[in-house]
Chains A and B, each alone.
Chain A
Amino acid sequence: MVHTGIGNIGHLLIIISFITSLMAAFGYFKATNNNEVGKSPWVSFSRAAFIFHGLSVVGVVVTLYIIIYNNYFEYHYAWSHASKNLPPYYMIASFWEGQEGSFMLWLFWNALLGFIIIKTNRKWEAPVMTVFAVVQAFLASMILGVVIGDLKIGSSPFLLLREVLNDPIFLINPDFIPEDGTGLNPLLQNYWMVIHPPMTFLGFACSLIPFSYCIAGLWTGRVKEWIRPALPWTIFGTMILGTAIIMGGYWAYETLNFGGYWNWDPVENAVYVPWLIMVASIHTMITFKKSATALKTSIILVITSFILILYSTFLTRSGILGNASVHSFTDLGLSGQLLIYLMFFLIISIIFAVRVWKQIPSSEKEASTYSREFWVFIGALTLSLMAFQVLIPTSFPVFNKIIELFGGISTLAQPANQIEFYSNSQVWFAIAVALLSGTGQFFFWKKMDKEKLIASLTFPVLISLLLSAVIFIVAKIYDPVYILVLVAGMYSIVANTKILLELLKSKSFKLVGGSVAHIGIAMMLIGIMFSEGYSEAISRNTLLISKEWTDDQNQTNIPLFLNEPSFMDKYEITYRNELMKVYDIPGYVKKSNLNNTEDPYYKVVKQDIVVDGKTYAQAGDTVYLQSPENFYYQTDYKDLETGKEFTLYPRIQVNPQMGDVISPDIKKLWGRDIYSYVSVKPNFEEDIEWGEKQEIEVKAGQRFFINDYVADFNGLERVERMSFATLGPDDVAVRANITVYAEDNEKYLAQPIFIIQNGQVGKQPDVIKEIASKISVESINPDAGSVTLGLNTTQKDFIIMKALEKPHINVLWIGTLVMIAGFIIAVRRRYVEFMQMRDKGVE
């Protein structure tokens, strides 16, 4: 049965949320113009409208989730993003795999933040919520799914499959419901897909708050006062978005095998750029609070960061990056709407700013070189230029489009080597930022002049030079740019630690946020320098793997044959087996121990599966696999110096939508990560070349040899049911049971099948790749009481592996945590300040 009702409810709720957001916008607009605060008629009306709006957004979210959760595959969204075998925790991820779902996520966060604003700040409610409601109206319009004539507004997630696809089956049976959905892309079946998107969209949503306060301030003439309530949210949003960016990087590092955590892909850049501007805006806003300068800069930066978020949304969702990014986006045909959304807020902000620009106070006299304002301003400028350098090439596709619009031809493309291009410039900005974040702190806390400055700088400079020199010698850093990075980073750490200690000594615990965050950033910088600059392939190899490969590829990949130890770096490594994960069984199960059934999610166990003395499945049991597309390659490492052992399980995912996807496995060591992945896995079943078949006659209980391995023939066994053939009443199928004794006391079971069906003989050989053999039953000789087995052998199973060493990458991750901690302390401080002032009635 096609459940049309629930989709109609969902669609109706979207329309309601759209209309209520417009009503709230109109009402709050009126309230602002009438200077209404608190329980006045327009405010009450708009508040009700916005609460209605928020509730319907929640309703939309719940409705879509019910559709996904109940596998209503008559809906296009459920069909294309979910499937029956998807575990419940990934159903959440299916929710935002599609563009519509991610818009809903964004709407949801905005609505929630809107509620918080209404609850916590009555004084600013009307103008701030006007901006909120307008943004919500734009976002809701993206999923509105209303067609007026030729004009399509938004793309609704509640479309039925038959409304989207032009499949002839719907002509025959309009109520056709597919058996199963096409599922969440297996590559995205990862816990990061559950937490990274909500974090990113919360970051996006938070950038709306300072923007709304800023517009509200410009609009109502409170051009200075908006900073205080906006500041904690700016810091909070920057923290959330920064965390989301790093999470994305960690995800890429851990699963996606981009070879690192940052690839300078346009999609990554599109979020990095606004984040830098948000960081800059925090600094100018704080400076303004202390000394009433930097107000104009703050206004420009806050507006810019919000517009850049909209711009990044436009870039990633309009399909304009199609030829520039490895991330592919479905174009929902919303480019026009997205462009209007972007232009609307760009123009509105400019109008509001220009209208009152002359009234905005700015200090008449120039900031002294020894003032905090001067250095913070330089810092903000550096961050802005840093963002600008990334923004320009990322915008190439947009430039090309604009020039084409005017009839010109522009063929600008991303630099061919993106990583090198961006890193080579960004590193200089990063050095400058580190130096400024160290020095700026001294100006921030004290009045400075030349003598005092020299006095307070001498010590940190000396210490950091000393520390850098030690690291430089121990870690053998000879690249001059990296030495500069190291010195700048160390300087920032030492200088900020000095400030931190002074603050702690004076018991000003609340004020330490800035210095802690700066220490974190500097640690990240040093971690990035080491892990990227000194990332090196340790899988060195002198064999020629392929003539088609470049020298570098041949020299940095190592072939590993099953159970044959090789040497790499200081390790002895051995490829042990191809494994799979079975539901409810800890660890991994050998792929060769699982026989296929018709359903790829179910396999039959050949030999008992015993883990730590407990039997989880017995021979003949059918087991369930949640991800039958994942294969793991067990490689054992033995440290030849210490004798310590560990095992890595790099993964290859045979992804129906994207081909083979390689994921690394990482060994975290104190000073470095070992990052290893299977670069090539020859397809053992398909590409294999078998030797000539040998026939051997054996009796039950007889011992013989297969490819030099000892084997026992345990006799024949009748098979009642077959996975690849239906047996009739006169048909017979038997299975030979052969135990093979391989290396390390491993036993394997070979079960070739012999069938007589409709008078025809059929053979299903069994391949045991651990012993590189194919075994078949050639004939059964009842007279002699024996069977004739056919044996083919081939070369041993192997993988080609690459392993990289990522030194001191932990410094990057620890630095991230330190930075986040700093942000949290700062948010708390600024929020407390805001609340105190609000309760005094100032704001």
Chain B
Amino acid sequence: MKKSSIIGIVVIAIAIAIIISTQNSASSYVSFDVAKEMAENGSNKKIHVVGELKKNTVGQVIGVNPSPDKLSVSFVMLDDNNLEQTVYYNEPMPSDFLRSEKVVVIGSYHDDKFIADKILLKCPSKYEETEL
């Protein structure tokens, strides 16, 4: 076999290996019910859930409970299917949290509790002001 063919095969093999390993490690954007199902089926994979904080009729955020020492926080989040879920986060509440337009939590279910390892916030006014 020619050397270039061998190199070609090796490169393709590595590329495929990269794609497969990426596939395996990739997380996914899911809703809370799918996440729960995954956890019940024994998967402990961390997933992403996109949603919003629960708000009352006048648009105030409700259900956010920082722990007494403020070192952690739990909050109620609605995913894109409007499914409600209490999320626990073992870090102090990010201060612009209540102003966030959208929240992405990355974590998984541990015995019915959704524990977030990381939170990404999308704030309307993060870099550009939109109101006087």
Contact = CB atoms under 8 A, between A and B. Distances in A.
Given A366-B4, A680-B71, A388 B15 contact: yes
Contact of A381 (B11, B69, B102, B127): B11
Given A182-B129, A553-B90, A385 B15 contact: yes
Nearest to A554: B71
B100 to A, nearest CB: 10
Contacts of A412: 26, 28-29
B132 A167 contact: yes
A381 B11 CA distance: 8
Contacts of B48: 323, 413-414, 416
A57 B70 CA distance: 51
A400 B28 CA distance: 10
Interface in A634-662: 655, 657-660
B67 A548 contact: yes
Contacts of B132: 165, 167, 169, 178
B18 A680 contact: no
Contacts of A326: 120
A392 B18 contact: yes
A411 interface: yes
Interface residues of A, number: 52
A389 B120 contact: no
Nearest to B30: A411
A659 B119 CA distance: 14
B53 interface: no
A352 interface: no
Contacts of A385: 11, 14-15, 18
A413 B122 contact: no
A658 B126 contact: yes
A330 interface: yes
B125 A657 contact: yes
A549 B90 contact: yes
Contacts of B92: 680
A556 to B, nearest CB: 13
A369 B97 CA distance: 59
B58 interface: no
B25 A415 contact: yes
Contacts of B85: none
A583 B30 CA distance: 50
A186 interface: no
Interface in A382-402: 385, 388-389, 392-393, 396, 400
A387 B72 CA distance: 38
A550 B70 contact: no
Nearest to B125: A657
Contacts of A381: 7, 11
A98 interface: yes
A392 B117 contact: no
B40 to A, nearest CB: 19
Interface residues of B, number: 51
Contact of A660 (B19, B47, B95, B117): B95
A330 B128 CA distance: 7
Interface of A is mostly: loop
A413 B21 contact: no
A94 to B, nearest CB: 12
A687 B29 CA distance: 37
B18 A388 contact: yes
A682 interface: yes
Interface string B14-52: 110011011001111110000000000000011110100
B67 A323 contact: no
B39 to A, nearest CB: 14
B111 interface: no
B29 A328 contact: no
A421 B96 CA distance: 29
Contact of B27 (A329, A388, A389, A413): A413
A97 interface: yes
B130 interface: yes
A659 B95 contact: yes
Contacts of A396: 26
B11 A546 contact: no
B96 A658 contact: yes
B104 interface: yes
A393 B90 contact: no
A335 interface: no
A497 interface: no
Contacts of A145: none
A322 interface: yes
A381 B13 CA distance: 13
Contacts of A392: 18-19, 22
Contacts of A167: 131-132
Of listed A330, A400, A659, A680, residue having the most chain B CB within 10 A: A659
A821 interface: no
Contact of B50 (A323, A330, A659): A323
A252 interface: no
A635 to B, nearest CB: 20
A378 interface: yes
A79 interface: yes
A178 B2 CA distance: 73
Contact of A413 (B26, B102, B123): B26
B18 A548 contact: no
B63 interface: no
Given A165-B130, A378-B7, A411-B29, 17 more contacts: A97-B127, A98-B127, A185-B127, A322-B122, A323-B48, A323-B50, A323-B122, A329-B127, A366-B4, A385-B15, A385-B18, A392-B18, A393-B22, A393-B25, A412-B26, A414-B48, A687-B70
6 contacts: A385-B18, A392-B18, A657-B126, A658-B95, A660-B95, A680-B70
Interface of A: 79-80, 97-98, 165, 167, 169, 178, 182, 185, 322-326, 328-330, 366, 369, 378, 381, 385, 388-389, 392-393, 396, 400, 411-417, 421, 425, 545-546, 548-550, 553, 655, 657-660, 680, 682, 687
